[in-house]
C-alpha cells in the first residue's frame, strides 16, 4: 500500500472574514475545525508496537473471536436434547476437553463429558452444566433440570467475526485496542506518523530557570510546560529553545522549525506591541491572522503559516498559554495528526464557590474536585498565579454571557485528563 503525504497548509488558511474582531470561543473552534485536516503521512507498524498511535486505515479482524464455540465455565458438556425436567442422570464419556487440548471425538447423545473453561465444544455438545450444579461418582453426573439450551457456552464469533471492522480510522490505539487486535490476529496496522510539534519561547526578559538572580528576568515556565503537554498528548515534542526579541533570529529559528516540525507553538510576542515579533513576522509573510478570542484568560492568539507549517502563537503568560493550548491547540493538533477533531468531555457538577460573572467573554477557572463531589476554584483568578495550575486538576468553563454562580449550582467541569 502506497504512503500518501498530505500537502502543507496554504498561507490564507487562518484568514478571518473582513470586519471580524472579537471572536467567541465556539466560533473560533468552528473555524479551526473547518480549515484543518491531517498533514502527516502514514506508515505500517506491528500492532504490538502501536500503543498511542492513531489509525490511518480501518483494521479488519483476521479471524473470529472466539474462533470456535467453547465453554464459559468448568463443568460438563452435553446435548441439550438429551435432558428434561427434574433429576437428570447421565453417564460420563471417557476423556475431557480443556483449553488448548480439545476432545478428539464425538460425545454420544445421552452422555456427558468433563469440560473446562475455554475448551472447544466437542462434537455432540451444545450445552454445559456448571460444575457446582452437579454431583458425580466418577462414572455418572446428576443435576436438576431443566437447563437452558446453550447454557454456559460461547458461540464462535459472538464477540467479533472474521472480516469485521474493529475500529474507525482516527482511533488512538490504547491497551484495550491492542487486546482486540491481538485476539483477532491483526499483526500490522496502518497509522499516521506522530505529529511533530516545535515549542519556541520568545522575549528578551525570558531566561532559563535558575540561570540568574536578576528580578527583571522571567524564568521560562512555558517551554517545559508545553513540551510536557505534547508528551502527554502522545505527540513528538521538538524543543526549539528560546530567541530574544530579535526578528532576524526569530526568522532563522522558524526556518529551521519548518524543516523538522509539522506545527509550532510559540509563547510570547503574539499581540500587537513593539516587541511582538511573532505577530510581526507572520504579518510580513502574509499569513497572520490575529484571532482576538473572547475568553479569559487569553485573548490574543496569533495564527499563521510559515513555509507550510501552522504556527500557533500563544500568550506569554503561562496560565493563559496553558488554557489556549488546551482549548485551541489540542483539538487543532488532533485534526492535523489524523485523530479528527477532539472536543474535551465535561461534566455538570455542583459548585463549591460563588461568582458574579460579567458578560462578554467565556471564562476558564482553575478548578479541582473536592471530596464531597463539588468543584472548587483557585482562590485567585489572577493569570499570574501559576501555582493555581498545579493546584487544579481541571477547569470550570463559564458561559459567554453573564452568570451568577452560587454554591450548589451546576457548572461544567473539564478535567485535565479530558484533553489527553
Q: Are residue 326 and residue 230 in the same domain, yes or no? A: yes
Q: What is the dihedral of CA 181, 332, 297, 307, to 10 degrees?
A: 140
Into how many domains does the chain fold? 3
Do 206 and 331 share a domain, yes or no? yes
- Is pLDDT above 60 for 323? yes
Q: Does 391 lie in the same domain as 298?
A: no
Q: pLDDT confidence of 15, banded at 50, 70, 90?
A: low
Q: What share of the chain in percent tops pLDDT 90?
A: 73
Q: Give the pLDDT of residue 319.
A: 93
**Residue 83 in domain:** yes
Is 70 exceeded by the pLDDT of residue 175? yes
Residues 356 and 322 in one domain: no
How far, CA to CA in Å, does 73 sit from each of 33, 97, 117, 122? 50, 12, 4, 15
Residue bearing the bigger pLDDT, 214 or 269: 214
Judgement on whether residues 389 and 331 belong to the same structural domain of the protein: no
Q: Report whether pLDDT(26) > 50.
A: yes
- Residues 412, 354, single domain; the answer is yes
Give the pLDDT score at 273: 47
332/351 same-domain check: no
Same structural domain for residues 246 and 378? no
Mean pLDDT of 164-178: 97
- Region 233-246: what's the mean pLDDT? 94
- Distance between CA 269 and CA 283 in Å, rounded? 12
- pLDDT score for 308: 87
* Parent domain of 390: 347-419
Q: Which of 307, 336, 365 is the last residue of a domain?
A: 336
Quick one: CA torsion of 404, 406, 408, 409, rounded to 10 degrees?
A: 0
CATH (domain of 110): 2.170.190.11
Mind listing the pLDDT tens digit for each residue in 401-418?
Answer: 999 999 999 999 999 999
Section 63-73 average pLDDT? 97
| Residue at a domain's end among 154, 186, 215 | 154
At 330-362, the pLDDT tens digits run 999 999 999 999 999 999 999 999 999 999 899
Question: pLDDT higher for 23 or 400?
Answer: 400
Residue 274 has what pLDDT? 43
C-alpha cell at 150: 446453550
State which of 270, 305, 336 marks the end of a domain.
336
Q: Are residues 274 and 399 in the same domain?
A: no
pLDDT digits (tens, 9 = 90+) for 27-46: 889 988 998 999 999 999 99
Residue 248 is given by DSSP the state H
Does residue 394 share a domain with residue 306?
no
Q: Residue 336: its pLDDT value, please?
A: 96
Indicate whether 210 and 312 sit together in one domain. yes
Kindly state whether residue 187 falls inside one of the protein's structural domains: no
CATH number of residue 413's parent domain = 2.40.340.10
CB 74, CB 99: distance < 8 Å: no
Closest CA to 364 of 323, 393, 316, 418: 323
| Close Cβ partners of 169 (under 8 Å, ≥ 6 residues apart) | 55, 56, 57, 58, 338
| Within-domain flag for 5 | no
**Nearest-CA neighbor of 316 among 369, 392, 242?**
242
Across residues 216-241, what is the average pLDDT?
94
Which residue(s) pair with 304 in the sheet?
Answer: 311
**331 and 223 within one domain:** yes
Of 407 and 13, more confident: 407
Q: Which residues contact 380 (CB under 8 A, 6 or more apart)?
A: 388
pLDDT tens by residue, 90-109:
999 999 999 999 999 999 99
Instruction: Give dist(CA 231, CA 419) in Å, integer.
Output: 12
The cell for 247 is 526578528
- For residue 148, being part of any structural domain is answered with yes
89 touches 136 (CB < 8 A): no
- In this prediction, residues 275-292 reach a mean pLDDT of 67
pLDDT in tens, 117-155: 999 999 999 999 999 999 999 999 999 999 999 999 999
Amino acid at each position: 500500500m502506497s504512503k500518501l503525504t498530505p500537502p502543507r497548509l496554504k498561507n490564507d488558511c487562518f484568514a478571518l472574514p473582513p470586519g471580524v474582531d472579537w471572536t467567541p470561543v465556539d466560533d473560533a473552534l468552528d473555524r479551526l475545525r473547518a480549515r484543518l485536516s491531517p498533514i502527516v503521512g502514514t506508515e505500517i507498524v506491528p500492532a504490538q508496537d502501536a500503543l498511542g498511535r492513531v489509525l490511518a486505515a480501518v483494521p479488519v479482524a483476521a479471524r473470529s473471536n472466539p474462533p470456535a464455540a467453547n465453554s464459559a465455565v468448568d463443568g460438563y458438556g452435553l446435548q441439550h436434547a438429551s435432558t428434561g425436567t427434574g433429576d437428570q442422570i447421565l453417564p460420563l464419556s471417557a476423556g475431557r476437553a480443556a483449553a488448548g487440548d480439545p476432545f478428539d471425538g464425538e460425545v454420544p447423545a445421552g452422555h456427558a463429558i468433563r469440560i473446562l473453561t475455554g475448551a472447544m465444544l466437542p462434537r455432540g455438545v451444545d450445552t454445559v452444566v456448571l460444575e457446582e450444579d452437579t454431583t458425580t461418582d466418577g462414572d455418572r453426573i446428576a443435576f436438576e433440570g431443566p437447563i437452558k439450551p446453550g447454557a454456559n457456552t460461547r458461540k464462535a464469533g459472538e464477540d467479533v467475526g472474521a472480516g469485521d471492522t474493529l475500529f474507525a480510522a482516527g482511533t488512538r490505539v490504547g491497551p484495550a485496542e491492542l487486546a482486540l487486535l491481538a485476539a483477532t490476529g491483526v499483526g500490522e496496522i496502518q497509522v499516521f506518523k506522530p505529529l511533530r510539534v516545535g515549542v519556541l519561547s520568545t522575549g528578551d526578559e525570558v531566561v532559563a530557570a535558575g540561570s540568574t538572580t536578576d528580578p527583571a528576568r522571567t524564568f521560562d515556565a512555558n517551554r517545559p510546560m508545553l513540551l510536557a503537554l505534547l508528551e502527554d498528548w502522545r505527540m513528538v515534542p521538538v524543543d526549539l529553545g528560546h530567541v530574544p526579541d530579535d526578528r532576524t533570529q526569530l526568522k532563522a529559528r522558524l526556518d529551521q522549525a519548518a524543516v523538522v516540525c509539522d506545527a509550532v507553538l510559540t509563547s510570547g510576542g503574539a499581540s500587537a506591541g513593539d516587541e511582538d515579533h511573532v505577530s510581526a513576522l507572520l504579518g510580513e509573510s502574509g499569513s497572520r491572522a490575529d484571532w482576538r478570542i473572547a475568553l479569559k484568560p487569553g485573548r490574543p492568539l496569533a495564527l499563521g503559516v510559515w513555509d507550510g507549517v501552522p504556527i500557533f502563537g500563544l500568550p506569554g503568560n503561562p496560565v493563559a498559554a496553558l488554557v489556549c493550548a488546551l482549548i485551541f491547540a489540542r483539538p487543532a493538533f488532533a485534526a492535523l495528526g489524523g485523530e479528527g477533531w477532539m472536543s474535551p468531555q465535561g461534566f455538570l457538577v455542583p459548585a463549591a464557590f460563588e461568582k458574579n460573572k460579567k458578560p462578554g467573554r467565556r471564562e476558564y477557572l482553575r478548578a479541582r474536585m473536592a471530596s464531597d463531589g463539588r468543584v472548587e476554584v483557585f482562590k485567585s483568578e489572577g493569570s499570574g498565579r501559576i501555582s493555581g495550575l498545579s493546584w487544579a486538576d481541571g477547569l470550570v468553563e463559564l458561559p459567554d454571557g453573564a452568570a451568577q454562580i452560587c454554591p450548589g449550582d451546576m457548572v461544567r467541569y473539564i478535567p485535565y485528563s479530558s484533553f489527553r
